[in-house]
Every structure is written in C-alpha cells, then in structure tokens.
Chains A and B, each alone.
Chain A
Amino acid sequence: MQNKIQSHSRGEYNVYSTFQSHEPEFDYLKSLEIEEKINKIRWLPQKNAAQFLLSTNDKTIKLWKISERDKRPEGYNLKEEDGRYRDPTTVTTLRVPVFRPMDLMVEASPRRIFANAHTYHINSISINSDYETYLSADDLRINLWHLEITDRSFNIVDIKPANMEELTEVITAAEFHPNSCNTFVYSSSKGTIRLCDMRASALCDRHSKLFEEPEDPSNRSFFSEIISSISDVKFSHSGRYMMTRDYLSVKIWDLNMENRPVETYQVHEYLRSKLCSLYENDCIFDKFECCWNGSDSVVMTGSYNNFFRMFDRNTKRDITLEASRENNKPRTVLKPRKVCASGKRKKDEISVDSLDFNKKILHTAWHPKENIIAVATTNNLYIFQDKVN
C-alpha cells in the first residue's frame, strides 16, 4: 500500500509527495508472504529542512527522509547540462556553477532499514522524547532501537509464554510517554494497560503500573473478550492522561489511578446488540485509533458509515460528523449526525441497520496546534478545519 495523501477539499491542500514505502517480501524459511501494507507511520520532530518519518509493515521499519528541492546547480565545467561528461580538451574557460530555481521536487529516500527483529506482526512504533530512540511492538515483544543503528535492537518486553498453548493475551499497542524518556505503556488484548519504567530493569516484564477496569458482568457475552481488546493507546500532550480505544468506547485514564478510567465515552453503543453480525462479517476485529486535540480538551475517534465522533471533556458534549463527498460540499459546515438505536426514527436520523459497515474511519489525526483535523476513509483523506469568520 502506498504512502499516499489525496486531498479532498479543493485548492487548500495538495499532494506533497507520493512514494511506496515497502515492497511485498517472501520469507522462504517460513513460507510466508510479508505484506507491504503499512501498519503505522510516525513523524520525527523536525531538525532541519527535511522531514523524517518512520513507517512500518508487519516486519520491517523504515526511516524515510523527505526533502524538497527547488533549485539546482547549473554551469558545471566538466559536465554538460544533461549530465554527460565533456571532453576535457574542449574546456577553455572556468566558471562557478550557480543555483537556479526549478519546479519544486519532493524526494523521499530511505535512510535506515530496521529489519529482522520481529517474529510476530508489528502493530506499533513510537518515538521517544529523547528523539534518539524509538520502540517497536509486535504481538508478544517490544524492542527498543536507536535511530542511527539498524543492526541491533534491545528487547524490553517479552510476554511470550514458555508454552504457546498457555497464551492468553497479546500486545496490541505501545507508546512512549511524551515527556519521560524512560516511561512507556503497552496495551493488551485483554483490555489492560501496563506502564513500564526502563530504569527499573533491562527487561520490563514487570510493570510499574497496571491499569484495568473490572468487567461489567451484566454486559457479558460471547464477544466480551473481543470488544475489550484495546486497539489504540495515546498519551495526552501533557503526559498526565492516556486514552485507550476498545471496540465500543474510548476511555481516559489518569496515570495516577490504576483501578478505573476517569472518563468513558461510548462511541457507538448501539452496536452492542449487533455484535453477532459484526463477528460474522469480521467488523468486530476492526482496530480504531483515537487522538487528542492540541490542548487535550477534546478527543476524537472514528466509527462506521464514515462517521467520526468528538468528545469534549470539559462540556461533556459529543458530536457525530460524517466524512463524505455526497453529504458535504467543500466549505460547508458539517452537519451533526445521529444514529437511531431502536424505535421510531426521527427525521435526519439514521437507523443502525442502514449503516454501511464497509465505510469505516480507522485513522484520524488532529493538528497539534490548530483546529484542523485529518480523517481517513477507505479511499480518501478528508481535512476539516474550524469555521473561519
């Protein structure tokens, strides 16, 4: 899958660069094809004119440098303009090459390739606040890398049981703390989050904190384990809170309180009675991400039917919006949507049964400073921003 950005709103945003990050590979030893599909992308903090990002597929992480070129040197002595070398005997004068402007060209080049460190499928990468190291997590292990060193990584978490038949949970996401370079968290398929301190020991198998909310027994079903699996974990910018996403809800945790979240927001509770069908069509395994706004006052996550949801932590208000071309012309204000769970459907409401489960929004992002959001549907990227008066 290509690292492609397609713009939706006309004229405001354009594609900056397009390149394919990974190629399909074949592991001959295991007779396994390794998909080229990208699982995660993380930007590095900008240090110079170029942009750097890490992208990962199931097995390999790559560091890409994306640089602009808007001028080129002209007037070489030994080369023609097309690059051919001149016969030295024809050079009679010397001149200094000069830079002349050219059409902007954006180049992406792979600078590092971090391979062969993961037996299982990589699900997360996270850059440390020291800007020198990063972690990569697969189903059972988390490795620590230095951005400059590709032939070595350190294993910092290993939850593989001695006997694979005793496996009961896997790692689903991991992230470094935004401020403490020794702290990271990882979430599990059982709905728990573990906070680890790398100063405690080389192998962080023992957590410093375990965040877990007891299950509500009245909600018990065949699918309880599936819907409690955490699909994403994100620290707030402040570092005081973290947010987790499971299938039906978003939870905000205070790092100082382990036994329950401080806030819980239902994303699409009306799906609880549909879990059986969602299991049949595999939608119950969809992994939604979540994100904070710059001030940590609003959180956002995606849903089905190209809906996405925002929750204001201060006002406790929430809103459902839709990312679609048909229903929203560019520059119009998005109209809030409502899903009717059961009973009589009001005007403008959408009934649960008419939701399109193929239209899912798994990835959303919020600008760190502005009220600009990016929302990804299956084939399009939508960029929305605050009304400008």
Chain B
Amino acid sequence: MECALDAQSLISISLRKIHSSRTQRGGIKLHKNLLVSYVLRNARQLYLSERYAELYRRQQQQQQQQHQRPHHQHQHLAYAAPGMPASATDFVPAPTWPPASSPGFYRGAYPAPSDFGVHCSSQTTVLDLDTHVVTTVENGYLHQDCCASAHCPCCGQGAPGPGLASAAGCKRKYYPGQEEDDDDEEDAGDLGAEPPGGAPFTPCKRARFEDFCPDSSPDASNISNLISIFGSGFTGLVSRQPDSSEQPPPLNGQLCAKQALASLGAWTRAIVAF
C-alpha cells in the first residue's frame, strides 16, 4: 500500500502524537501510544532499509573513487550518510555509549568532508520540547558542528565554537535534559513494543536519563556532539576506530549494517523514550 507520506514524515508525525499525548487530559493512553509506536517502528524499518541501500550504493561509488585517491584521505571511511530522523523526544544515551564527557572523541569521528561531494545534504527531524515545533533540519550537521571540522566546504571557515549559537540557515536544535515531569510512575510513562523478529525496540524509562547524565544541566557542546553523531548516522560509530589511520576498516554493506544494528537499540531508545 502506498502512503502519501514518506517514512520520515510519518516518524515526525508519530513523535508529535506521542509528545502531545503527554499533555492530554486523562493521562497517557497506553493503547494509542502502543499503536503509534508500531507505526514508528514500521516507518523506521523502511527508512533504514532505504538508508542501507543508499549507504551501500555510495560505498560502492567511494570504493571506485578510492582507487584513484591518496590513501591517507580515507582514514575516515565514513560517508556523509544523511542524518537519521533522530527526533529524540527524550534523548537518552544508551548504556553502550561512552559517557558524554569526551567531546574530542566524537569530533574526531567526523568524516573528512573534502572527499565527499555531498557533505551536508542530510535531513534530520528534531522535536523541540519547549516550543513544540517539529523542524526538519536540512543539514544533518548543524552549523557549529560542521565548522568544528574546519574543512567543511559548505559552512565556510572558522568554528563559532561550541554552544547553540545558531547560524543562518540552521534550524533551532533540540537538546534534552530539561524534562521537569516526573517519571517515576512507570505505569503512565512507559511504553514499549517488541517488533516480532526485528531489532529490539526498547524505549527506556525516562528515569534512566538521570542515570546516564548525572549532571542534568546539559553541557551544550557535549550534547551537540551526541546529536551530531546521530546526525551522521551510524558512520560516527563506524569510523570510531582507534587505528583508523592505518588500514581503513573493511567497510562493506554488511559491516555497516551490523554496526548500525548494534547501535539500533540506542537509537530507538532515544526515539521512543518518554
């Protein structure tokens, strides 16, 4: 059945529904939110399968190009994978994530932009919990993160520095951490759906956010890095090899997918937790 909306729109609509259900009279409706999470899962599966196909296709292109280029430029075999629709309503890092206090680590994982024609062509959907605005960011790399790697051709010279100073053309970004609602009521707040045969789709309780971010006042640069990781898709993980300067990781479609799936749990937790 064809749908008038693409997967990404469905995802943002679904997240909006989940979010607005929290302020509805009578409390969160478990049944409705469970059904919405199924739509989320279905749309995500379609979106990811399209992404993997595109990743694989680009990798094929890159591998052809690599044969003509110097070796050192390929230490980051990370592709400008368009950003996942990481509309994290509650952006909760998974247990497998390194703690947020090592921004330098993540910066290093950004792909060298000069290799890629299409660098910042990604789309990320973010939901701002303060203004309740869902925006689709055209550049998966938000401006300040782009310019953190100074070679970025599309964003010009010089990094404006960490922080949420938004530059022209960048939409406002969501950062988590200011949830004032109490979520120790597990009955009202929890939601989960186990897709049959699929990747684990395990939203975590919001209380866990405090577990992983003990300093609840967000360090803007750390969080912006985390979001950028998601913005760069799973390539952020892929290129996070300590010895990536040597032999490039044998990236093929399968490895990409495997590592992507490995972090799928983290990603879906971020998406669905509320």
Contacts of B194 in A (CB 8 A): 165-168
Asked if A189 meets B1 with Cβ closer than 8 Å, knowing A31-B182, A34-B26, A222-B10, the reply is: no
- B-side contacts of A163, CB under 8 Å: 192
Q: A120-B187, A170-B31 are in contact. Are A165 and B1 (CB under 8 A)?
A: no
CB nearest to B4 among chain A residues: A276
Complex partner residue of B25 from A35, A229, A272, A273, CB under 8 angstroms:
A35
| Distance of A170 Cα from B193 Cα, bound (Å) | 11
Residues of A with C-beta under 8 A to B13: 279-280
> Given A33-B25, A120-B187, A168-B194, do A221 and B31 touch, yes or no (CB 8 Å)?
no
**Cβ-defined contact, B26 with A32, below 8 A:** yes
Contact A221 B190 (CB under 8 A): no
Query: B39–A139 contact, CB under 8 A?
Result: no
Q: How many residues of A contact B (CB 8 A)?
A: 42
- Write the nearest CB–CB distance from A199 to chain B, whole angstroms: 30
Residue among A164, A169, A285 making CB contact with B32, cutoff 8 Å: A285
In the complex, what distance in Å separates the CA atom of A149 from the CA atom of B26? 27
Asked if A316 lies at the interface with its beta carbon under 8 angstroms from chain B, I say no
Most buried by A among B25, B26, B188, B202: B26
CA A30 to CA B187, docked complex, whole Å? 10
Given A170-B31, A275-B1 in contact, is the A225-B192 Cβ separation under 8 Å? no
Query: For residue A280, which residues in chain B have a CB less than 8 angstroms away from its CB?
Result: 5, 13
Q: Is A164's CB under 8 angstroms from B35's CB? A: no
By a CB distance below 8 angstroms, the chain B residues around A58 are 26-27
B69: Cβ under 8 A from any A Cβ: no
Whether a CB of chain B sits under 8 angstroms from the CB of A172 is yes
Contact residues in B for A165 (Cβ distance below 8 Å):
190, 192, 194, 202-204
Asked if B1 and A166 make an inter-chain contact with CB atoms under 8 angstroms apart, the answer reads: no
Could you tell me the distance in whole angstroms from the C-beta of B14 to the nearest C-beta in chain A? 8
**B186 at interface by CB-CB < 8 Å:** yes
Per the bound structure, the CA–CA distance linking A223 and B204 in Å amounts to 24
In the complex, residue of chain A having the shortest beta-carbon distance to the beta carbon of B184: A30
Q: B264: which A residues are within 8 A, CB to CB?
A: none
Q: How far is the CA of A164 from the CA of B42 in the complex (A)?
A: 20
Cβ–Cβ contact A276 & B31, under 8 A: no
- Could you say which residues of chain B place their CB within 8 Å of the CB of A285? 32, 35
Is A35 within 8 A of B187, CB to CB?
no
Chain A residue contacts of B204, Cβ below 8 A: 165
Min distance, Cβ B87 to any Cβ of chain A, angstroms: 16
Determine the residue in chain A with the shortest Cβ distance to B13.
A280
Smallest beta-carbon distance B191→chain A, Å: 7
For residue B52, CB closer than 8 A to chain A, the reply is no
Q: How large is the interface on B (under 10, 10 to 19, 20 to 34, 35 or more residues)?
A: 35 or more
B134: Cβ under 8 A from any A Cβ: no
**Which residues from 193 to 210 on chain B have a C-beta closer than 8 Å to any C-beta of chain A?**
193-194, 202-205
Q: Which B residues between 221 and 251 are near A, CB-CB below 8 angstroms? A: none
Q: Nearest-CB distance from A294 to chain B (Å)?
A: 32
A170: chain B residues within 8 A (beta carbon): 30-31, 34
Query: With A164-B186, A220-B1 given, is the CB distance from A32 to B27 under 8 Å?
Result: yes
CB-CB under 8 A from B215, the residues of chain A are: none
B186 contacts across to A, CB distance below 8 A:
164
Contact B43 A222 (CB under 8 A): yes
Residues of B contacting A140 with CB < 8 Å?
30
For this complex, 29 residue pairs linking A to B, each with C-beta atoms less than 8 Å apart, are: A32-B26, A58-B26, A119-B187, A121-B27, A121-B30, A164-B186, A164-B187, A164-B191, A164-B192, A164-B205, A165-B190, A165-B194, A165-B203, A165-B204, A167-B34, A167-B190, A168-B192, A170-B30, A221-B3, A222-B3, A222-B43, A225-B39, A229-B31, A273-B1, A275-B1, A276-B3, A276-B5, A276-B10, A277-B4
Q: Shortest 10 CB-CB distances between A and B: which pairs?
A: A165-B192, A164-B190, A225-B38, A221-B1, A35-B26, A32-B27, A276-B3, A222-B42, A139-B30, A165-B202
Q: Which residues of B contact A (CB under 8 A)?
A: 1, 3-5, 10, 13, 17, 25-27, 29-32, 34-35, 38-39, 42-43, 46, 182, 185-188, 190-194, 202-205
Could you list which residues of chain A lie within 8 angstroms of chain B, going by C-beta atoms? Answer: 30-35, 37, 58, 119-121, 123, 139-140, 163-170, 172, 189, 219-226, 229, 272-273, 275-277, 279-280, 282, 285
Given A30-B27, A279-B13, output 19 extra A-B contacts at Cβ < 8 Å. Answer: A30-B185, A32-B27, A33-B25, A35-B26, A121-B29, A165-B192, A166-B194, A167-B34, A167-B190, A172-B31, A189-B31, A189-B34, A219-B1, A220-B1, A222-B10, A275-B1, A276-B3, A279-B39, A285-B32
